[in-house]
């Protein structure tokens, strides 16, 4: 085991897959000599050369189009977006081409579209969004949102090996702020499998990405008040691990759904529907949602703090639900 950052875990995962499989290559804006906006691909061009580490124009639609075409020829492209906010520029390619190819004519499309998302870094409305639900609602795509270094490495490796297109969201707040023990030997984390990262008996807190760490912090504080939270990290939003969601609700009978994304159309609504359909009789209280409000992400640090879910929100809602 080696303790490495979330960013280094992703970097190692891609590097190892390029070493393992010559069909894997990277493309994106400034990923070569510069090493990427956040340095995920630093040193790649020296090891693998410009034919496998390709700098592209600032044209997200072209990046996806090139990656998609390469995937149809048997290559496994890993395309980087400097910020996932700008993946919107490639929506036609992703939604109408990449996502539908297997459905239309059975062709695998083994490409990964990856990059930084999320707030709490004062990046403003164009560099702090959580656009994962744009793609969860798009059949044919897999959507991955890791929270830890271990999962980040295992999930990026699994994504590259998958024959389906994968949208891989890396929370930029976590890049250099968290570290974790990561095996030095080869491993993957299966797509579509959630993980109970803290066992509990009173309330299930279901979340993903950076909010996992907020949930664990809240759980430690609430334990001092004899409120025992179970924390379920979804890890993959498409496909969802419905069994894990239902099992944790059946265990605790109360649930809080937490995400950094805005409220309307967020994954919490889908989770609430699943729970109502499959575990309604197990509920001993209302389903609670804690999310960002339906506004753009503010640039001002105090306003961004108000916008993002905070520890006090979790503590207050958990105390209220425990007493319900």
What are the residue numbers of the active site? 127
For 204, what's the count of Cα atoms within 13 Å in the CB-facing half-sphere? 29
Q: Is residue 76 a contact partner of residue 24, using CB atoms and an 8 Å limit?
A: yes
Residue partners of 70: CB distance under 8 A and separation at least 6: 25, 77, 111
What is the Cα–Cα distance from 286 to 238, expressed in whole angstroms?
25
Contact between 318 and 256 under an 8 Å Cβ cutoff? The reply is yes
30: left (phi over 0), alpha (psi -120 to 50) or beta: left
Q: Which residues contact 293 (CB under 8 A, 6 or more apart)?
A: 262, 263, 307
Question: Mutual orientation of helices 211-223 and 311-323 as an angle, nearest 10°?
Answer: 50
What is d(CA 104, CA 89) in angstroms, rounded to the nearest whole number?
Answer: 23
Measured at the CA of 101, the angle between CA 268 and CA 14, to 5 degrees, comes to 70
* Contact criterion met (CB below 8 Å) for 309 and 260: yes
Radius of gyration of the chain measured on its C-alpha atoms: 20
């Amino acid at each position: 085991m080696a303790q490495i950052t979330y960013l280094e875990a992703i970097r190692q995962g891609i590097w190892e897959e390029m070493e393992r499989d010559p069909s894997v290559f990277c493309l994106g804006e400034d990923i070569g000599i510069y090493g990427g906006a956040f340095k995920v691909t630093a040193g790649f061009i020296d090891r693998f050369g410009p034919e496998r580490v390709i700098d592209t124009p600032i044209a997200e639609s072209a990046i996806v189009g090139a990656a998609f075409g390469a995937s149809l020829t048997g290559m496994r492209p890993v395309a980087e977006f400097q910020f996932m906010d700008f993946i919107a520029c490639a929506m036609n390619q992703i939604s109408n081409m990449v996502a539908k190819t297997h459905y239309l004519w059975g062709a695998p499309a083994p490409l990964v579209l990856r990059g930084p998302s999320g707030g709490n870094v004062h990046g403003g409305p164009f560099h702090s969004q959580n656009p994962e639900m744009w793609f969860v609602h798009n059949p044919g795509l897999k959507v991955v949102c890791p929270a830890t270094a271990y999962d980040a490495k295992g999930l990026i490796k699994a994504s590259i090996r998958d024959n389906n297109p994968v949208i891989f969201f890396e929370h930029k707040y976590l890049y250099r702020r968290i570290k974790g023990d990561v095996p030095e030997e080869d491993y993957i984390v299966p797509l579509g499998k959630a993980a109970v990262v803290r066992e509990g008996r009173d309330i299930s807190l279901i979340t993903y990405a950076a909010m996992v760490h907020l949930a664990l912090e809240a759980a430690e504080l609430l334990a001092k008040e004899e409120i025992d939270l179970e924390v379920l990290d979804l890890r993959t939003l498409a496909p969802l691990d419905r069994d894990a969601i239902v099992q944790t609700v059946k265990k605790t009978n109360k649930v809080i759904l937490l995400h950094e994304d805005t409220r309307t159309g967020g994954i919490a609504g889908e989770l609430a529907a699943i729970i109502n359909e499959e575990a309604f009789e197990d509920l001993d209280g209302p389903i609670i949602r804690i999310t960002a409000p339906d506004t753009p992400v503010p640039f001002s640090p105090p306003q961004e703090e108000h916008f993002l879910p905070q520890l006090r929100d979790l503590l207050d809602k958990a105390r209220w639900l425990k007493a319900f």
